Structure 1
Amino acid sequence: MAIDATVHYIARDEAYKAEKAFDTGFPVSHIPGARQTNHRVEPHGVKVHQIRDPSRYALDVHGFCVIRADLDINPHDAVTQLSEIQFSIWDKLERILERDFPQYTRIESYDLNVRKRDSDFPSITRGYTDFNQPSRKPHCDVSQQGALMDLRFAFPGQDHIWAGKDFDILSVWLPLVGPNSDWPLVLCDWTTVDPDNDIIDNDAIHRDHIEENSLLHYNSAHKWYYIKNQTSSDLMVFRNADSCGRRPRGFHCSIFNPDVSGPPRQSIEVRLVAFR
């Protein structure tokens, strides 16, 4: 069964040829003349199909896959003691991926993010929330150039580790509390993306650094997929970018599910560099 959903694509706008797409991760209203973003968004209705047989989807074909594993993350600890438990999560996850993806010779986690949907989302009028909220805009967390920017920020002074190496930037996403049907993560099948015309790179501006990620323009050929009632043992693994710029990528976002049941979504995502 498919969900009739709305995906908030970035518009195909000639303005981005004169000014690069950008957005900021912090309030700028106190800065005269500053803008939060220059994005023009186009909502498009799509059908999001249920992943019934995870074995049909491969990282090196579709840009994403699903694996079954138990990280045994305590949801309360994840939202109250993340810094204390993140290294344990990273260690468990690296061992799981090394087992399931033998093409990689070394895997290093370097980022971890917990999201907890605010009850007012997406109509939040105040300037902040306690946790990051679901992302409605289809994106990959880093571009090919952004991958290098990410690694330099995460591993300062260690360029020799990745210089000239073949690597992927992967993400692993799972709900902390399941089965989850609230604002599920959805992924676009890479075989339906036109990489020469559907993708635009974007400056993601943070308080202490700038990243470059990639956003997606609408294409009626796109096919979207999700895991119905995803549990904490259903791990979504997807590629954001690779050092060569050739491999399938997993553009993703979250959608409103009209058949939601259960509490607001709590989720965790880990970003890793995987060397070949």
Structure 2
Amino acid sequence: MSAALALDAATLDRDAPRAPSYVEATLTFIAPMAAKPFNYTFQPPDGGPMSNVVADQRRVRIHDVRPVASRMTLDTAGFALVRRPTALRDFDDEAAIRAVYYPESEAILRAATGAARVLIFDHTLRRRIDGAPDRGDGPRQPVARVHVDQTVASGPKRVRDLLPPDEAETLLRGRVRLVNLWRPILGPAIDMPLAVADARSVAPGDLIPSDLIFRDRVGETYAVRHNPAHRWYYAPHMGTYEALLLKCYDSATDGTARFVPHAAFADPTAPADAPPRQSIELRALLFG
């Protein structure tokens, strides 16, 4: 993390409302299973189940990250909380997201990582509707199961899917990272905040490759087994002027953080009348 971003992270605690040092909440993990887990993004044509995942719900302690935010970086913990306001006011305007928000986000990612090249390839808006499925007819919903968006196999595949073959193979000889930039678009975010696990507390065996089946392709993500060694964090009352960076893949194998599990969760301290969560997550490939 650059000195400027580290300084911003150090001030994040100052302006936020006072919050408990941790909350105890339920996170949904995957139970041990013999078959490879799968999730369809549409109704399977054979009428089978959309998922074979067996859920394992656990009560865990989720710590306030603000007192330690300046020490949490993408390469150490796998995530970083930064203060970077956006000039965009209308997140229903797709053209404006690409014209205004994408360049802003690219600048944030460059400053946080020093990457030589940033390729933003998509984004998702989420607006929580109580009881609605994530991939139904309405808006995308917060994902309340612990997961990582990419795996050791799907990270390089994403590069090959998005770039011409020769260019992809050249870039894959260097360092490649996949990073998500998550931001509330209605703040402060009290309803269904995002919990992230310190990557240093996650063992390789906790990450379970899982098929994510689209109509035209099969992707792979990690489901996550519960491990009492996990150390979980969240940013209470996260504002629209803040962004959370999440590392979903890193080709480096030198001990740097490579994958960060994360999930939305019901904060037991949230008031009943808290506005439903609205957020945007943007996905980017970083080279060099």
Q: TM-score range by the shorter chain?
A: 0.7 to 0.9
Counterpart of 2:278 (choices 262, 266, 270) is 266
- Residues paired across the two proteins, number: 262
Superimposed CA distance per residue, residues 116-139 of structure 1 (whole angstroms, 9 cap, x where no aligned partner): 001x23xx3798242111111111
SS in 1 for 2:177: strand
The alpha carbon displacement at 1:108 in A equals: 1.4
Query: Does the 8 A contact of 1:70 with 1:233 survive in 2?
Result: yes
Query: Does the 8 A contact of 1:241 with 1:247 survive in 2?
Result: no
Which residue of the partner structure matches residue 180 of structure 1? 189
The alpha carbon displacement at 1:191 in A equals: 1.5
Which residue of the partner structure matches residue 71 of structure 1? 86
Which residue of the partner structure matches residue 148 of structure 1? 156
The alpha carbon displacement at 1:255 in A equals: 0.3
SS in 2 for 1:90: helix
Runs ≥4 residues deviating over 4 A: none
Which residue of the partner structure matches residue 64 of structure 2? 50
Q: Matched residues, percent identical?
A: 27
RMSD value, Cα: 2.0
CA gap 1:125/1:101 in 2 versus in 1, 3 angstroms: closer
CA gap 1:87/1:21 in 2 versus in 1, 3 angstroms: farther
The separation in 2 between residues aligned to 1:151 and 1:111, in whole angstroms, is 13
Tell me whether 1:96 sits opposite 2:108 in the alignment.
yes
CA gap 1:221/1:163 in 2 versus in 1, 3 angstroms: closer
Tell me whether 1:167 sits opposite 2:183 in the alignment.
no
CA gap 1:185/1:129 in 2 versus in 1, 3 angstroms: farther
SS in 2 for 1:7: strand
Tell me whether 1:22 sits opposite 2:38 in the alignment.
yes
SS in 2 for 1:99: helix
- Flag structure 2 segments of 5+ consecutive residues without an equivalent: 1-19
Query: Does the 8 A contact of 1:144 with 1:244 survive in 2?
Result: no
The separation in 1 between residues aligned to 2:27 and 2:178, in whole angstroms, is 24
The separation in 2 between residues aligned to 1:27 and 1:83, in whole angstroms, is 30
Which residue of the partner structure matches residue 36 of structure 1? 50
SS in 1 for 2:153: helix
The separation in 2 between residues aligned to 1:274 and 1:127, in whole angstroms, is 28
The separation in 2 between residues aligned to 1:227 and 1:82, in whole angstroms, is 27
Superimposed CA distance per residue, residues 46-68 of structure 1 (whole angstroms, 9 cap, x where no aligned partner): 01111122102121111111111
The alpha carbon displacement at 1:178 in A equals: 0.6
Which residue of the partner structure matches residue 211 of structure 1? 219
Superimposed CA distance per residue, residues 231-269 of structure 1 (whole angstroms, 9 cap, x where no aligned partner): 012211111011245631211000001222431000000
Matched residue type, 1:226: Y
Which segment is superposed worse, 60-69 or 143-152?
143-152
Query: Does the 8 A contact of 1:63 with 1:238 survive in 2?
Result: yes
Which residue of the partner structure matches residue 256 of structure 2? 247
Query: Does the 8 A contact of 1:117 with 1:266 survive in 2?
Result: yes
Matched residue type, 2:267: N
SS in 2 for 1:151: helix
Which segment is superposed worse, 253-262 or 177-186?
253-262
Counterparts of residues 61-140 of structure 1 (less than 5 Å):
61-74=76-89, 77-78=90-91, 80-102=92-114, 104-118=115-129, 120-121=130-131, 124=132, 128-140=136-148
SS in 2 for 1:250: coil
Superimposed CA distance per residue, residues 81-137 of structure 1 (whole angstroms, 9 cap, x where no aligned partner): 2245224311111112222322x211111111100001x23xx37982421111111
Query: Does the 8 A contact of 2:212 with 2:220 survive in 1?
Result: yes
The separation in 2 between residues aligned to 1:8 and 1:178, in whole angstroms, is 25
